[in-house]
Amino acid sequence: MAEPLSRALRASVHVTEFGVKGDAGLVAQLARGEGGADSDHLPHVDSEVLLTDPAVPFGELRLGTHPRDPALVTVPSPAGPVSTPLIDLLKHQPHLAGSRRVLPPGDALPFVLKVLSAARPTPLRVRPGSASPRAAHVRAHLDPYALPTDDLELVVAVEPCVLLRGFAPAAVICARFGESAEVFALPGCAERLAALDAAATAEADTAAAAAAAHRGPARGGAADVVEALRDLSRAILTAPAAALEAALMQLSARVAATADGMAPRHERICAALHALHSGDGACVAAAFLLRAEELVPGDAVGISPGEPWCLLAGSALCCAPRCDDEARAGLTDQSRDIATFCALLRASPPGAALLAPARVAPHMLVFSSRARARADAGDSSSAGTRAGGSTQCSLSRCALPPGAECVLPAVDAPALVLVVSGSGAIDECAHAPFSPRVHRTAAPGLALFVPAGTDVRLAASAAARTCAAPAETASDASTWARILRGDAAGAAVAHAPLGPSGSFLAFHAVGDVLSVWS
């Protein structure tokens, strides 16, 4: 039998306070690493006892080449398969990356592929664009990962998800604070809301004048709106602890005393966050400033640099730029950098919504980040050289029912493959004359590094194998969905299996192109 061209990967698995406890979450299920009976795959976590411990919350599974958190690649040896950091393999065998050299300095992959399982909110976070200041905790350790880019962070729901992302329109933000006297009275809020309203009005007047003069879109007041949003965020996140907690307790008590679902949605979200994180200004900032969204499996969004966001509950795959200089502002006990967080904030692109897919083949939908990238390009805060380079990403969804197959054509770039559910086979062949085709079985948890110039065929088993949704994550997503809808006693959010009945679900990331196959 020919030697496989790809190499099995061992991901890094992280225990986080927001993770799903025990073996109920997607991360824990993948970390077991069934891989395949005739595969060289290794489990991502050694201890089966740890994976089933009901007190251990597994929150993240990562595949990448970060020197502090590298994926390990399995290579053959006389004593059996052994593991070495993927970045070392790329350094010693640079031809595996292809001739396009999409790799940044240090032979690091230009992205990290992550699976998130959240039973509680993830940190409220933001990352910089190429023209933004670097986060404080990165400035002291300059390396390739400290170079911010303008790439989108792609997020696709694997299970139902509820998230907060991007600023709501200024008029909506002002109206929200006007409905909530408790937070409106926080020190400095009234003045900063007045400044935001004035900046938004000036921006609208400038746009109207430009339209009347047929000069096209105008952004004269956009910078003032962004600065007003930063000032308002800073006032909330640095409010005196006593005043903040008093306001949150009063608001929560009023929401609890209001008939089911009658309190405004932002107040319901704020009260629910306060129940988890008392005295945290991020409860107000997230609920009053950001847009709330529900995602069903297969929905995808693109998070721009400067766009704050957090996942309230659910499981998703994220393809993030390789830089690790995001700044956090709360909702967990992780380190915070409020000053940098506020400095990085940018207004959200108008009408930012789900990434719209295009059907390019049977069973395959493709999401593209290019339209959002063009919308962001008009923001003056993103002007400047892309210091870390840029990768146009696309996100594809291919549903493989039993017996179906699809082909990932060979490209001149390295690739990662992660199998999430179902069973099937992966065939691979070097894009060269007389190259043998190599076959391996595939099951949930199998992660592969695929060298440049290798085509891969995914085939679902003829016999259906479904993967039930983790109950705990489903109930958490349902709870937040009911909070958003104001339906305290209503039906839970519809929770489908990880893919169509019996489907084979895998994720595929390629150099400067991301594809999701499910």
Report pLDDT digits (tens) over 124-145.
999 887 766 554 444 444 454 5
Domain span holding position 253: 170-289
Spatial CB neighbours of 213, under 8 Å, sequence gap ≥ 6:
none
What CATH code is carried by the domain that includes residue 117? 2.60.120.10
Q: 3-state DSSP call for residue 269?
A: helix
Token pair for 149: 């880019």
277 and 307 in a common domain: no
pLDDT at residue 274 greater than cutoff 60: yes
Rounded to the nearest 10°, the torsion over CA 261, 266, 269, 271 is -90
Cβ distance 373 to 152 under 8 Å? Answer: yes
Note whether residue 339 is domain-resident.
yes
Residue 1 lies inside a defined structural domain of this protein: no
User: Residue 214: how many CB atoms within 10 A of its CB?
Assistant: 6
Instruction: Decide if pLDDT at 497 tops 70.
Output: no
Helices (H) and strands (E) in the chain, counts: 14, 24
* pLDDT range class, residue 241, cuts 50, 70, 90: very high
Do both 327 and 245 map to the same domain? Answer: no
Q: Which two tokens stand for residue 249?
A: 């307790």
Residue 211, pLDDT > 60, answer yes
2 is a domain residue? no
Longest dimension (CA), the chain: 76
DSSP 295-332: E-TT-EEEEPTT--EEEEEEEEEEEEES----EE-SSS
Residue 285: predicted pLDDT: 96
CA separation for the pair 302, 319 (Å, rounded): 10
Q: Are residues 261 and 334 in the same domain?
A: no
Looking at mean pLDDT, say which of 100-104, 330-334, 361-365 comes out highest.
330-334
Say yes or no: 314 and 390 in one domain. Answer: yes
Sequence-distant (≥ 6) Cβ neighbours of residue 306 within 8 angstroms: 126, 127, 128, 129, 132, 344, 345, 346, 381, 382
**Cβ–Cβ under 8 Å, residues 294 and 165:** no
Residue 165 lies in a domain: no
Mean pLDDT of the chain: 79
The pLDDT assigned to 61 comes to 93
Q: Degrees (nearest 5) of the Cα angle 398, 403, 408?
A: 40
Whether the predicted pLDDT of 112 surpasses 60 = yes
Shared-domain flag, residues 213 and 269: yes
Give 472's pLDDT tier (boundaries 50, 70, 90). Answer: very low
Phi and psi of 426, rounded to 5°?
Answer: -125, 120
Task: Record the pTM.
Answer: 0.87
What pLDDT, on a 0 to 100 scale, did the predictor assign at position 100? 59
Same domain assignment for residues 282 and 300: no
In angstroms, the CA 218 to CA 201 distance is 13
Name the more confident of 165 and 298. 165
pLDDT (0 to 100) of residue 268: 95
pLDDT band at residue 199 using 50, 70 and 90 as cut-offs: very high
* pLDDT over 60 (residue 283): yes
pLDDT of 392 strictly over 70: no
Q: Are residues 431 and 301 in the same domain?
A: yes
Residue 266 has pLDDT above 90, yes or no: yes
SS (H, E, C) 16-55: EEEEEECCCCHHHHHHHCCCCCCCCCCCCCCCHHHHHCCC
H helical segments located in 85-188:
86-92, 136-139, 170-179, 181-184
User: Do 153 and 207 reside in the same domain of the chain?
Assistant: no
In sequence order, the 6+-apart residues with CB closer than 8 A to the CB of 78 are none
How far is it, in rounded angstroms, from Cα 171 to Cα 197?
A: 7
Residue 378: the pLDDT is 40
Residue 468: band (very low, low, confident or very high) from pLDDT cuts 50, 70, 90: very low
Residue 413 to residue 99: CA distance in whole angstroms: 8
Own/partner pairs, 228-231, CB within 8 angstroms, 24+ separation: 228/170, 228/192, 228/195, 228/196, 228/198, 228/199, 228/200, 229/167, 229/170, 229/173, 229/196, 229/289, 229/345, 229/347, 230/342, 230/343, 230/345, 231/192, 231/195
Angle between helical axes of 281-289 and 265-276 (0-180°, round to 10): 160
The mean pLDDT value for 188-203 works out to 94
Q: How far, in Å, CA of 169 to CA of 98, rounded?
A: 44
| Spatial contact of 299 and 353, defined as CB atoms under 8 Å apart | no
Which tokens belong to 494? 């519809």
Domain end: 289, 313, 346, which one? 289
- Quick one: tokens of 12? 């890094």
H-type alpha helices, 141-300: 170-179, 181-184, 189-212, 222-237, 241-257, 265-276, 281-289
302 and 285 in a common domain: no
Q: Which of 220-229, 360-369, 390-399 has maximum average pLDDT? A: 220-229
Q: Which of 268, 289, 310 is the last residue of a domain?
A: 289
pLDDT at 351: 60
Q: 18 and 142 share a domain?
A: yes
Predicted confidence at residue 389, as pLDDT, reads: 42
Q: Within a domain: residue 90? A: yes
Whether residue 501 has pLDDT greater than 50 = no
Question: ∠ CA(510), CA(67), CA(60), 5° rounding?
Answer: 65
Does residue 323 sit within a domain?
A: yes
Residue range 347-377, pLDDT digits in tens: 876 666 788 777 777 777 777 665 444 344 4
Q: Is residue 357 part of a domain?
A: yes
Q: Are residues 375 and 280 in the same domain?
A: no
- Number of structural domains (the chain) is 2
Boundary (domain end) residue, out of 273, 289, 305: 289
Q: Is residue 427 part of a domain?
A: yes
Residues 397 and 379 in one domain: yes
